[in-house]
């Protein structure tokens, strides 16, 4: 599955790029599985996701939990807890 990944704030800085297009293997079915797959790709991802409980995710502009399915996703975002307002 080809999907656009986007990163924000210190997650973006740790990964080293604001976005990328990834060819995600079919067996990677959830957000948590995607994080594990990314962590296996390089130390920048291992660093960005070193504390998996902290990084939040959104699929196509909607907040999701780690068990959310990736099926049909066009854009998946990873970012720290929000500090706006």
Partner 1 sequence: MSLTIHVQRESFDIADEIAALTAGRSDIGAVVTFTGLCRDEAGRLAALELEHYAGMAEAELRRVAEEARQRWSLQGLTIIHRFGMVAPGETIVLVATASVHRGAAFAAAEFLMDYLKTRAPFWKREHLADGRTGDWVEAAAHDDVAAARWRTI
45 vs 78 by CB, closer to partner 1 = 78
How far is the CA of 62 from the CAs of 40, 44, 47, 52, 56, in angstroms?
Answer: 26, 25, 24, 19, 11
22 lines the binding site for partner 1 (CB under 8 A): no
9 lines the binding site for partner 1 (CB under 8 A): yes
10 lines the binding site for partner 1 (CB under 8 A): yes
CB of 52 to partner 1, least distance (A): 16
Of residues 44, 19, 23, the one with CA closest to residue 34:
23
Of residues 55, 74, 82, the one with CA closest to residue 66:
55
What is the binding site for partner 1 (CB under 8 A)?
6, 8-10, 58, 61-63, 77, 79-85
């Amino acid at each position: 599955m080809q999907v656009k990944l986007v990163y924000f704030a210190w997650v973006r800085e740790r990964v080293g790029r604001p976005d990328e297009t990834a060819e995600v293997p079919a067996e990677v079915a959830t957000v948590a599985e995607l994080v594990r797959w990314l962590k296996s790709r390089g130390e920048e991802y291992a660093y960005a996701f070193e504390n998996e409980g902290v990084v939040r995710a959104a699929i196509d502009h909607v907040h999701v939990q780690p068990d959310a399915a990736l099926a049909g996703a066009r854009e998946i975002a990873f970012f720290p807890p929000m500090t706006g307002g």
